[in-house]
């Protein structure tokens, strides 16, 4: 793994800084592993430069208590992949006379959260251990880091109105932070989050979606929920995981029934040798099943891209333990070696055209160490002896971008949940793109169980649909051309690339197309009178839908215009973009001719 200053800087910054994709209004705090929304929240600083803790901040609304913690070292907060013995001591009523003075920290601890053991102990109003799900706790990120944001559901944690006090305690060092705890007065302000639009964003070339199906695609109740969800989401390209129990032809039939295409066209579906699949409206030109637990394919997307898209459906090795950690990293290394060779035109895989959109996603099972996601973003390969050198994976020489997509109905990023288990909900499903060639216009994680009755009725969904379909929520993104669009061919130099230009031979930056027939007015002669639609509309004020606008028996083209072949300089018969004596002589030479 590269240890250059550049990669050391990227390692410390890239996973904490991302583009924010918001709903109609920004919530007080978004639980998404992006920390800018904490900048205006008061924090208590350790200030001594020693010990386990750097700073902690708290805020709240009428439903949640939020906590931001910065630690001096990287840890796996709710597991022991990087050993820690951290606990959160919560005095839910800020009253030392209730609860337990745990470790003589001077708090009346009503609720203790034992992070690496994933349990909570309620000393007031309860008995025994509870799961973190039972106290309504969420954390971002789900992998190792040195800062985290947490949320406690007030109702489930039994946090009273008024004041709450908190201490972070390291049992290993017997260090409590801050001394005497940090106090917060609970807010009753309503969370201002506004549910996100499910509509396709303006400028979208392709809507893509990634979905772990949890092996349910052949189950009738799950299929009914899947159909309703897909009819609302309406993706152009869909990458599945956990579909080992169904064939590509089976899914093709489902997609044709659920989302029929025009002119009786069929969806294109390919499957790897295990549990990954890609379905597309456009042709799938090639696929590469030899990449372990990752399935890249070149897909013919919207013509506006100008090149096929590299779509990769991924399902990295699950869960904790040293062998799983090593395998997940090995899989990330292997994919990035494939991508590097495809960009450079080396190896046995594809050779990517310049600025090919790179779209990678799926169930990455990002728990434990954060190194695999770091590799997938930066191109910093851990085992260079086996997989070759590091590289900059985006077309502009920068890292790829991992998008912090939020739930459609709530400002949290988790995509998987199992409320009856010991593990908290977590973000397992990701979307990573080459932002130089792909612009993220809009994205969301569709969650129906907290959707309002009005929204459910509007979209024809049931509250239980998302979790009936799978234990993973579908991840959806509207993608358009990225910042390198200016490097695409532009034959007429009008600032619109040929692949998007409705008249690629004549400059028309405004792309005017009065009748929406897909041909720009400067290139179109709808009524066949010899005048372009642009000349009729903009210069002569004649009817582009009638050959004889004034019904005098003489076609508009003969009556109004002596036109050049390029139709942008009336009277320029010599096509030199100057109306001169030469054009007059050419006109005189035509006298007496019959048409």
Nearest CA to 563 out of 490, 485, 506 is that of: 506
Helix (H) or strand (E) holding 559: helix 556-560
Q: Is the dihedral of CA 589, 592, 593, 595 positive or negative?
A: positive
Do residues 136 and 37 both lie within one domain?
A: yes
Length of the chain: 595
Do residues 450 and 302 both lie within one domain?
A: yes
In three state form, how does the secondary structure of 88-112 look? Answer: EEEECCCCCCCCECHHHCCCCECEE
Report pTM.
0.80
Angstrom distance (rounded) from CA 423 to CA 417? 8
In a domain, 199, yes or no: no
The pLDDT value given to residue 575: 55
In the listed set 487, 510, 543, which residue is the last one of a domain according to the structure?
487
Do residues 361 and 462 both lie within one domain?
A: yes
Coil, strand or helix at 528: coil
In a domain, 133, yes or no: yes
Angstrom distance (rounded) from CA 35 to CA 136? 21
In the listed set 436, 459, 487, which residue is the last one of a domain according to the structure?
487
Do residues 230 and 348 both lie within one domain?
A: yes
In the listed set 435, 453, 487, which residue is the last one of a domain according to the structure?
487
In a domain, 535, yes or no: no
The pLDDT value given to residue 110: 95
Nearest CA to 234 out of 265, 206, 269, 194 is that of: 206
Nearest CA to 113 out of 93, 133, 94, 143 is that of: 133
Angstrom distance (rounded) from CA 530 to CA 567? 9
Do residues 274 and 181 both lie within one domain?
A: no
Helix (H) or strand (E) holding 149: strand 145-153
Do residues 254 and 320 both lie within one domain?
A: yes
In a domain, 530, yes or no: no
Helix (H) or strand (E) holding 329: helix 322-344
In a domain, 553, yes or no: no
Angstrom distance (rounded) from CA 228 to CA 572? 59
Do residues 282 and 176 both lie within one domain?
A: no
Angstrom distance (rounded) from CA 185 to CA 94? 10
Q: What is the pLDDT of residues 22-62, one digit of tens each?
A: 433 344 799 999 999 999 999 999 987 779 999 999 999 99
In a domain, 592, yes or no: no
Nearest CA to 416 out of 427, 407, 405 is that of: 427
The pLDDT value given to residue 9: 42
| CB within 8 Å of 179: residues ≥ 6 apart | none
Angstrom distance (rounded) from CA 278 to CA 294? 11
Do residues 177 and 272 both lie within one domain?
A: no
Angstrom distance (rounded) from CA 13 to CA 18? 9
- Number of Cβ within 10 Å of residue 308's Cβ equals 21
In a domain, 385, yes or no: yes
- CATH number of the domain bearing residue 416: 3.60.10.10
Do residues 159 and 256 both lie within one domain?
A: no
Walk along the chain (595 residues) and give the pLDDT tens digit of each residue: 665 544 444 454 554 444 444 433 344 799 999 999 999 999 999 987 779 999 999 999 999 999 999 999 999 988 878 889 999 999 999 999 999 999 999 999 999 999 999 999 999 877 678 999 999 999 999 999 999 999 999 999 999 899 999 999 999 999 999 999 999 999 998 877 889 999 999 999 999 999 999 999 999 999 999 999 999 999 999 999 999 999 999 999 999 999 999 999 999 999 999 899 999 999 999 999 999 999 999 999 999 999 999 999 999 999 888 899 999 999 999 999 999 999 999 988 999 999 999 999 999 999 999 999 999 999 999 999 999 999 999 999 999 999 999 999 999 999 999 888 889 999 999 999 999 999 999 999 999 999 999 999 999 999 999 999 999 999 999 999 987 654 556 778 887 776 678 888 888 889 999 898 889 888 888 888 777 888 788 877 888 888 888 887 777 776 666 555 555 566 665 555 677 766 665 566 556 655 5
In a domain, 397, yes or no: yes
Number of domains in the chain: 2
Rounded to a whole number, what is the largest CA-CA distance in the chain?
Answer: 112
Q: Decide if 547 contacts 539 (C-beta within 8 A).
A: no
Do residues 384 and 265 both lie within one domain?
A: yes
Do residues 464 and 391 both lie within one domain?
A: yes
Q: Which domain holds residue 171?
A: 28-185
The pLDDT value given to residue 60: 94
The pLDDT value given to residue 102: 95
Q: What is the pLDDT of residues 539-571, one digit of tens each?
A: 778 888 888 888 877 777 766 665 555 555 666
């Amino acid at each position: 793994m590269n240890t250059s200053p550049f990669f050391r800087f990227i390692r410390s910054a890239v996973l904490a800084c991302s583009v924010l994709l918001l709903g109609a209004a920004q919530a007080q705090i978004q639980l998404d592993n992006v920390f800018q929304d904490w900048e205006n929240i008061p924090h208590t600083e350790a200030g001594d430069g020693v010990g386990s803790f750097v700073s902690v901040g708290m805020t709240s609304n009428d439903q949640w208590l939020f906590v931001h913690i910065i630690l001096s070292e990287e840890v796996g907060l709710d597991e022991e992949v990087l050993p820690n013995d951290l606990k959160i001591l919560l005095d839910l009523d800020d009253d030392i006379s209730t609860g337990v003075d745990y470790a003589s920290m001077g708090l009346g601890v009503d609720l203790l959260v034992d992070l690496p053991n994933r349990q909570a102990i309620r000393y007031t109003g309860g008995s025994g251990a509870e799961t973190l799900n039972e106290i309504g706790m969420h954390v971002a990120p789900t992998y190792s880091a040195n800062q985290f944001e947490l949320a406690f559901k007030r109702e489930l944690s039994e946090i009273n109105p008024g004041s709450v006090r908190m201490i972070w305690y390291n049992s290993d060092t017997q260090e409590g932070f801050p001394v005497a705890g940090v106090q917060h007065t609970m807010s009753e302000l309503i969370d201002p989050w506004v549910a996100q639009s499910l509509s396709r964003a303006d400028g979208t070339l392709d809507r893509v979606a990634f979905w772990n199906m949890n092996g349910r695609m052949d189950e009738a109740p799950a299929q009914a929920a899947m159909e309703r969800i897909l009819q609302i989401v309406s993706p152009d390209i869909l990458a599945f995981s956990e579909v080992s129990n169904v064939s590509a032809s089976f899914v093709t039939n489902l997609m044709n029934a659920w989302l029929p295409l025009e002119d009786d066209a069929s969806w294109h579906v390919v499957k790897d040798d295990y549990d990954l699949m890609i379905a597309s409206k456009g042709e799938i030109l090639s696929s590469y099943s030899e990449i372990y637990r990752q399935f890249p394919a070149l897909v013919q997307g919207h013509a506006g891209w100008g090149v096929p898209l590299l779509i990769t459906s991924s399902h990295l090795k699950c869960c904790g333990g040293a062998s799983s950690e090593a395998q997940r990293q090995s899989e990330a290394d292997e994919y990035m070696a494939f991508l590097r060779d495809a960009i450079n035109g080396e190896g046995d895989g594809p050779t990517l055209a310049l600025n090919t959109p790179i779209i990678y996603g799926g169930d990455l099972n990002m728990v434990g160490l954060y190194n695999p996601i770091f590799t997938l973003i930066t191109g910093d390969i851990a085992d260079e002896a086996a997989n070759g050198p590091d590289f900059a994976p985006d077309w502009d020489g920068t890292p790829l971008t991992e998008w912090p997509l939020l739930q459609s109905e709530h400002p949290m990023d988790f995509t998987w949940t199992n409320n009856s288990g010991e593990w908290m909900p977590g973000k397992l499903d990701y979307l990573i793109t080459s932002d130089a060639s792909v612009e993220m216009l809009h994205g969301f994680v569709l969650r129906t169980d907290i959707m309002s009755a009005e929204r459910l009725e509007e979209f024809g969904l049931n509250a239980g649909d998302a979790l009936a379909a799978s234990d993973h929520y579908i991840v959806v993104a509207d993608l358009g051309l990225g910042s390198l669009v200016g490097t695409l061919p532009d034959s007429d130099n009008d600032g619109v690339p040929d692949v998007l230009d409705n008249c690629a031979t004549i400059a028309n930056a405004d792309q005017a197309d009065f009748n929406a027939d897909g041909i720009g007015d400067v290139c179109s002669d709808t009524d066949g009178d010899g005048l372009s639609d642009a000349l009729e509309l903009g210069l002569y004020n004649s009817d582009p839908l009638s050959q004889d606008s004034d019904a005098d028996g003489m076609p508009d083209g003969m009556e109004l215009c002596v036109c050049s072949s390029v139709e942008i300089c009336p009277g320029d018969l010599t096509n030199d973009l100057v109306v001169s004596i030469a054009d007059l002589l050419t006109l005189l030479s035509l006298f007496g001719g019959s048409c």
